[in-house]
Structure 1
Amino acid sequence: MSGSGSRTAAARAAVGAVWSSVTSACWRHWPTWAGWAAGGFSLLYGLLGLYWTAGGDGFPFAPVDPARASGSILEGSRVEVVAPIIAVLGLVGAVVAWLMTRRARPGRRSAAALMVFGWAAAIGLTVIVPDYTLIILVAFAPLLLVFAFTGVPGDQGGIGDILYWHRTNLIIVFVGGLLWATATLAYRRRARGACASCGRRHEEGGGPSRQTLLRWGRWAVAVACLAPLPYEITRIAWYLGHPLGVTPDFLRMMQDTPGMLEVGLGCALASALGGVLTHGLVARWGETYPRWIWFKAGRRVPPTLAIVPASIVAVTIIPAGLMFLWTSEARGTWAMYVPSLFWTVWGVALGVATIAYHLRRRGACRHCGQGPQPGPEPRTSLDQRQVRDDPVSAPGQRA
């Protein structure tokens, strides 16, 4: 029995090691495969556009029952109008992505044309077409994982009643936009003769100083923490029984709907907690573990531990905010409409703060070797490290 358990543990360790090496290799070589992935996505949707144009089933923006509709800007569009556009843009995108994978240095005009198409595709697919589905998926991912095994409580029949095709398509479209963003970024770097992985060029300097990046980050963090306050205040007020920004009848409707106010309160508290964590992008404890994390105190915080979750929230909250610009149903009361518009500001500010944090923390590039080489693990006291690494905010160092 113990031998079987040992073999199982060894097999799991081997699978974990293989998976780790594969994901690490994919991450290191993203400039190589991003263009092909974006081209494959565009080709797939180009062919689907032809299929829908010819009368095929499954057009993901067709009018459906309101309970199954999404909040996309294309929701309810006519297949005979939008499907041919999807086909043309998809097939053209496949050609553009293929041209981006070529190693030859392009001319200035041709490179500019390819980048305009690439950035337009990235912005359209990530922030214009999607709705609030992505941020809901991020916020309730643990519950959805549980529901996949236990079933969805209430009248809904299962996960299919939550992630139906109109919503699932928006998730796929969003991922396609991210592929286009990475492909265009890598192409832009190659076109200007920079390292495709880090964007540095040998003839350029080190870029903005740490103090400049820290100053930009602080302004961005301040905006990112203030933008969701209207949402948090109104949802907490509703839970406490105050009809702030809504009519008393609307508040009673929410009180009579099981779980509605609780979900709003949970989202408000999660947003407030996210604001606290956002400060880590400019605070000392965002770079060095504080004393109260005793088993890590004094060690460097891995940059990805902050960059990955902050980036996910930033890119998923923006389309949720933009959705309310063309959703007239939510404009009856200001508390249902105005606070959500600030989500776009929140996402942009969080994105700027995350980029500043990344540029401040990044070390030498594995591909071109440019950038500061990592030093030994710091062993000085936290106060000494603050003066060394953050002279702008260290005690006694303010102007």
Structure 2
Amino acid sequence: MALPTLTADGQEAAEHSAPWRRRWPAWAPRAAAAWGVAYAALQALWAATGTGVPLAGDRHTPAALQLLLAALALAASGVSLATTRTLGRSGRRATGGALAVLIPALGWGAIGLPMYFVTLASGAGLESVTGLVNLLLVAAGTTLLALVAVSYRRRLGGSCPRCGQWHEGGGDGPLAHPPATTAPPRTRATAYLLMCGLLPWSVVKTVWLFGGDAIGVSGEAWQDEVESESTGAAKALASVGVDVTVLGALLGFFLLLGLLHCWGQVFPRWTLLLSGRRVPRLLPLVPAWLTGFSLALYGTLLTAGSLLMAAGVLPKPEPDGVFTSGTGLAWMVAFGGLAFGGLGWGLLVAARSYAERTRPRCVPANTSSTGARDRAS
């Protein structure tokens, strides 16, 4: 069975007259295609000019990797446009498979975006302009490609590409939003249990900042390092015993609470002018997805590394910086895996529940107009 085109002839005029936000299944593929061309051009320019883009630590992205990213972006552009075409079974499978590969292949670069925002919020300054630009572009492209994949999958299943539900009429009418609800008890318990992984990391960092010793690191040595490397608000927070990474974890926990409870769907009274208004659905979901995926991947890799070190498969790391023993550094790797992995997976669990509980349903234009006439009569 051939895939139907994105808009039927009888619905095209209505969908073009609807607000742009209601027509995202129609414009998302074109926006993703334009992003792919622009991102490929930028990566090729950086590779040709030798522009430094941070990769990990003090290392920069090599030109070969930049050219590979440019090729992947161009492939994503072509695949996005292919989702708007009528394809046979093999073409549909190839397009869906390409999206499944390209989204993580391009989206892994957003793994460092949360720390950029935490660093900026703490007043520590911007480490790299090109690094931040690259991460923002990667996040934007990953979001667009995810929208393309969602709408394409829904169309393959014959449901509305906008809301994912089965209904008559076009997907250009207003949306009916469900009432605000709290996540089920099992979901809340799972998310809170995962967040407990933050405790060892946070406790150790706080002990150091208050001058105590832990896992072979003296509080004095840690404070000296923070004093030499931190600036602005980050140094001010450290002076009162608050590590900037702990502050970032608290912000993530605040986001998780909003995803689990009703005030994440309707602005509470303490938001003043916004009180009582519906929270835009993607406002908490996009940062939760981007942050959750990156932290879950990073934390899982750290946890796997610490388990392999504990089993003797991998050697313990050599002492570095303030760490006086490889055992202490290995413990910190394990604590980091629990913290980042717990926060990341907790956000993903909460975001999945939030997405399901807040999923709106299209009110087809013909249905809404008929209902309005009936009420008027």
TM-score, normalised via structure 1 length? 0.62
Out of 215, 224, 235, the residue aligned to residue 253 of structure 1 is 224
Matching of residue 351 in structure 1 with residue 348 in structure 2: yes
Question: Are the structure 2 counterparts of residues 220 and 110 from structure 1 closer, same or farther at C-alpha, using a change threshold of 3 Å?
Answer: farther
- Contact 1:49/1:84 (8 A) holds in 2: yes
Q: Deviations over 1:187-234 (max 9, x none)?
A: 11112211111111249xxxxxx9996245324422443232233222
Matching of residue 190 in structure 1 with residue 155 in structure 2: yes
Question: Are the structure 2 counterparts of residues 212 and 310 from structure 1 closer, same or farther at C-alpha, using a change threshold of 3 Å?
Answer: closer
Task: Name the structure 2 match of 1:71.
Answer: 56
Task: Name the structure 2 match of 1:268.
Answer: 246
Matching of residue 338 in structure 1 with residue 334 in structure 2: yes
Q: Hey, what's the Cα distance between the residues in 2 that align with 1:175 and 1:116?
A: 21
Q: Hey, what's the Cα distance between the residues in 1 that align with 2:160 and 2:272?
A: 37
| 3-state SS in 2 of match to 1:304 | coil
Q: Hey, what's the Cα distance between the residues in 2 that align with 1:72 and 1:32?
A: 40
Q: Following TM superposition, by how much is the alpha carbon of 1:140 offset from its aligned partner in structure 2, in angstroms?
A: 4.8
| 3-state SS in 2 of match to 1:28 | helix
Task: Name the structure 2 match of 1:57.
Answer: 49
Question: Are the structure 2 counterparts of residues 166 and 195 from structure 1 closer, same or farther at C-alpha, using a change threshold of 3 Å?
Answer: same
- Contact 1:35/1:100 (8 A) holds in 2: yes
Q: Hey, what's the Cα distance between the residues in 2 that align with 1:115 and 1:172?
A: 23
Q: Deviations over 1:69-101 (max 9, x none)?
A: 44289x54542x334433432332222111112
Unaligned runs of 5+ in 1: 1-23, 62-68, 145-151, 153-158, 204-209, 371-399
Unaligned runs of 5+ in 2: 1-17, 169-179, 306-316, 368-377
Task: Name the structure 1 match of 2:257.
Answer: 279
Task: Letter of the 2:91 partner, please give it.
Answer: S
Q: Deviations over 1:271-323 (max 9, x none)?
A: 34653563344446556778x86989xx9672437x62354144125425645
Q: Hey, what's the Cα distance between the residues in 2 that align with 1:229 and 1:188?
A: 39
Task: Letter of the 2:128 partner, please give it.
Answer: L
Task: Name the structure 2 match of 1:33.
Answer: 27
Trace 1:178-257 onto structure 2 (pairs within 5 A): 178-202=143-167, 214-215=184-185, 217-248=187-218, 250-254=221-225, 256-257=227-228
Q: What is the count of residue pairs matched by the alignment?
A: 309
Out of 353, 357, 361, the residue aligned to residue 360 of structure 1 is 357
- Greater Cα shift, 88-97 or 28-37: 88-97
| 3-state SS in 2 of match to 1:194 | coil
Q: Following TM superposition, by how much is the alpha carbon of 1:236 offset from its aligned partner in structure 2, in angstroms?
A: 1.6
Task: Letter of the 1:110 partner, please give it.
Answer: G
Task: Name the structure 2 match of 1:43.
Answer: 37
Task: Name the structure 2 match of 1:10.
Answer: none
- Greater Cα shift, 35-44 or 241-250: 241-250
Q: Hey, what's the Cα distance between the residues in 2 that align with 1:341 and 1:201?
A: 42
| 3-state SS in 1 of match to 2:164 | coil
- Contact 2:260/2:353 (8 A) holds in 1: no
Higher relative contact order, chain-length normalized (CA < 8 Å, sep 6+): 2
TM-score, normalised via structure 2 length? 0.65
Question: Are the structure 2 counterparts of residues 242 and 289 from structure 1 closer, same or farther at C-alpha, using a change threshold of 3 Å?
Answer: same
Question: Are the structure 2 counterparts of residues 309 and 122 from structure 1 closer, same or farther at C-alpha, using a change threshold of 3 Å?
Answer: same
Matching of residue 110 in structure 1 with residue 91 in structure 2: yes
Q: Following TM superposition, by how much is the alpha carbon of 1:121 offset from its aligned partner in structure 2, in angstroms?
A: 1.8
Task: Letter of the 1:100 partner, please give it.
Answer: T
Question: Are the structure 2 counterparts of residues 32 and 230 from structure 1 closer, same or farther at C-alpha, using a change threshold of 3 Å?
Answer: farther
Q: Following TM superposition, by how much is the alpha carbon of 1:266 offset from its aligned partner in structure 2, in angstroms?
A: 4.5
Q: Hey, what's the Cα distance between the residues in 2 that align with 1:271 and 1:359?
A: 25
Task: Letter of the 1:217 partner, please give it.
Answer: T
Q: Hey, what's the Cα distance between the residues in 1 that align with 2:207 and 2:19?
A: 48
Task: Name the structure 1 match of 2:171.
Answer: none
Q: Hey, what's the Cα distance between the residues in 2 that align with 1:58 and 1:121?
A: 25
Task: Name the structure 1 match of 2:76.
Answer: 93
Trace 1:357-396 onto structure 2 (pairs within 5 A): 357-366=354-363
Question: Are the structure 2 counterparts of residues 275 and 93 from structure 1 closer, same or farther at C-alpha, using a change threshold of 3 Å?
Answer: closer
| 3-state SS in 2 of match to 1:165 | helix
RMSD in angstroms over aligned alpha carbons?
4.2
| 3-state SS in 2 of match to 1:135 | helix
Q: Hey, what's the Cα distance between the residues in 2 that align with 1:101 and 1:216?
A: 39
Task: Letter of the 2:110 partner, please give it.
Answer: P
Task: Name the structure 1 match of 2:290.
Answer: 315
Q: Following TM superposition, by how much is the alpha carbon of 1:60 offset from its aligned partner in structure 2, in angstroms?
A: 4.9
Q: Hey, what's the Cα distance between the residues in 1 that align with 2:364 and 2:335?
A: 44
Question: Are the structure 2 counterparts of residues 369 and 225 from structure 1 closer, same or farther at C-alpha, using a change threshold of 3 Å?
Answer: farther
Task: Name the structure 2 match of 1:394.
Answer: none
